[in-house]
C-alpha cells in the first residue's frame, strides 16, 4: 500500500480543528449537545461536523480507502468491525476525543486519526488544538512533534514515575485496579482525553497508561496512540501479553516505557484480580 503524504494528513486535521472545533469552543448551545449511553457520554455537533469533514478529506488523500469514525460506528455503521480486518486501507477517526471536556469548557481535548492496513496500524496522528501540538508516527519511522523526535520517559520503579489514564465509573469492575495503580505511582494525571494521554506518554511527560478500564477498547482511542508510543521507544501489550491491534475491542491495555515497568503494572493487576476472586468477583469481567 502506498502511504499518503503525512504532512497533508496533518494539515487536514489541523485545518478542520481550527475551522470547526476552536470557534465553537465554549460557545455551544443546549441543542448542540446530546447524550449517547448516559449523562457523561456526550456527543456534540462539533463531533459530527469534524468527522464528516475528516472522512471526506482523508478518503480524497488515499483513493480506495474506507473510514471507521467513532460517531458513525456508534450510531449507524453496523459493518465497521469487519472493516478493520479488510484488505482496504482504513482510516480510524476520533474527531473530538475528550468530548465531555470540550462540552463543559475544559481545554483538554484532541483529534485522533490512525491509518490501518490488513489489521495493523501503519500511521497515526494526534492533534492538540489548544496547545497547537500534533504528534505523527509512521510504522518503522519514529514519532514526531514538528521537528522533535519523540522519546518515552526513562523507566523507573513505580513509586518514582507518573501515570496518565482515566478512572472508570465507580461500579466498574476494574476501578479497584486503576485506583490501586494510581496509589503506587508518584503522581497521576487525569486529562480526560486518550489522545492527550498518548501525547504525554510518547513525549515523556508521563510514564504509564492503561486502556480498557471502562470495559471496552475503542480503536479510535488507541490505534494511533499505541503506534506513536511504540515508535517513541515504549512497550505496550494487552494484560495477556498479546500485542495490541485495532481489532482488539476488549481486554486491558498496559502502556509503559519498557517491558519491566509493564510487568510491574501487570503484577498489580494480578494481585487485584486475586483479591477480587476472594470476594467472588473478577477484575476482568
CATH of the domain at 87: 3.30.540.10
The pLDDT, as a whole number, for residue 255 is: 98
The cell numbers describing 134, all together, are: 500534533
Mean pLDDT of 139-150: 97
pTM: 0.94
**Helix, strand, or coil here: 72?**
helix
Domain end marker among 118, 149, 180: 149
> Is the pLDDT score of 277 beyond 90?
no
Mean pLDDT of 234-255: 97
Q: Is residue 1 part of a domain?
A: no
145 and 170 co-located in one domain:
no
User: How large a percentage of the chain has pLDDT more than 90?
Assistant: 84
Mean pLDDT of 226-247: 97
113 and 168 co-located in one domain:
no
The pLDDT, as a whole number, for residue 278 is: 54
> Is the pLDDT score of 185 beyond 90?
yes
In Å, what is the CA distance from 2 to each residue of 42, 62, 119?
36, 9, 16
The pLDDT, as a whole number, for residue 279 is: 56
Q: Is residue 60 part of a domain?
A: yes
Is the Cβ–Cβ distance between 225 and 196 less than 8 Å?
no
The cell numbers describing 235, all together, are: 512497550
Our count of domains for the chain comes to 2
Between CA 229 and CA 253 the distance in angstroms is 13
> Is the pLDDT score of 229 beyond 70?
yes
Q: Is residue 96 part of a domain?
A: yes
Confidence bin at 281 (pLDDT 50/70/90): very low
Domain limits for position 248: 158-277
* φ, ψ for residue 13, nearest 5 deg: -60, -45
Q: What mean pLDDT value characterizes the chain?
A: 94
> Is the pLDDT score of 285 beyond 60?
no
Mean pLDDT of 16-45: 92
> Is the pLDDT score of 283 beyond 50?
no
The pLDDT, as a whole number, for residue 147 is: 96
> Is the pLDDT score of 88 beyond 50?
yes
40 and 131 co-located in one domain:
yes
* φ, ψ for residue 52, nearest 5 deg: -65, -45
229: CATH = 3.40.190.80
Domain end marker among 149, 177, 212: 149
Of residues 19 and 274, the one with the higher pLDDT is 19
Is the Cβ–Cβ distance between 66 and 25 less than 8 Å?
no
14 and 129 co-located in one domain:
yes
> Is the pLDDT score of 26 beyond 80?
yes
Q: Is residue 65 part of a domain?
A: yes
Amino acid at each position: 500500500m502506498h502511504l499518503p503524504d503525512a504532512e497533508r494528513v496533518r494539515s487536514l486535521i489541523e485545518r478542520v480543528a481550527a475551522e470547526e472545533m476552536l470557534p465553537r469552543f465554549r460557545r455551544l448551545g443546549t441543542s448542540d449537545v446530546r447524550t449517547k449511553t448516559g449523562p457523561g457520554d456526550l456527543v456534540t455537533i462539533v463531533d459530527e461536523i469534524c468527522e464528516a469533514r475528516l472522512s471526506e478529506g482523508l478518503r480524497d488523500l488515499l483513493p480506495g480507502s474506507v473510514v471507521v469514525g467513532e460517531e458513525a460506528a456508534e450510531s449507524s455503521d453496523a459493518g465497521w468491525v469487519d472493516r478493520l480486518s479488510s484488505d482496504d486501507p482504513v482510516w480510524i477517526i476520533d474527531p473530538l476525543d475528550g468530548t465531555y471536556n470540550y462540552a463543559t469548557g475544559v481545554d483538554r481535548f484532541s483529534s485522533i486519526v490512525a491509518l490501518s492496513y490488513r489489521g495493523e496500524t501503519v500511521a497515526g496522528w494526534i492533534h492538540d488544538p489548544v496547545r497547537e501540538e500534533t504528534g505523527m508516527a509512521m510504522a518503522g519511522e519514529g514519532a514526531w512533534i514538528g521537528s522533535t523526535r519523540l522519546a518515552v520517559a526513562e523507566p523507573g520503579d513505580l513509586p518514582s514515575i507518573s501515570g496518565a489514564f482515566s478512572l472508570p465509573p465507580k461500579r466498574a469492575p476494574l476501578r479497584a485496579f486503576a485506583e490501586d495503580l494510581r496509589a503506587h505511582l508518584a503522581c497521576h494525571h487525569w486529562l480526560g482525553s486518550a489522545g492527550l494521554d498518548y501525547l504525554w506518554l510518547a513525549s515523556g511527560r508521563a510514564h504509564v497508561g492503561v486502556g480498557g478500564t471502562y470495559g471496552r477498547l475503542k480503536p479510535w482511542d488507541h490505534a494511533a496512540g499505541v503506534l506513536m508510543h511504540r515508535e517513541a521507544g515504549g512497550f505496550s501489550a494487552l494484560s495477556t501479553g498479546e500485542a495490541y491491534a485495532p481489532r482488539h475491542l476488549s481486554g486491558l491495555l498496559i502502556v509503559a516505557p519498557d517491558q519491566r515497568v509493564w510487568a510491574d503494572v501487570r503484577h498489580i493487576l494480578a494481585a487485584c484480580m486475586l483479591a477480587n476472586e476472594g470476594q467472588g468477583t473478577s477484575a476482568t469481567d
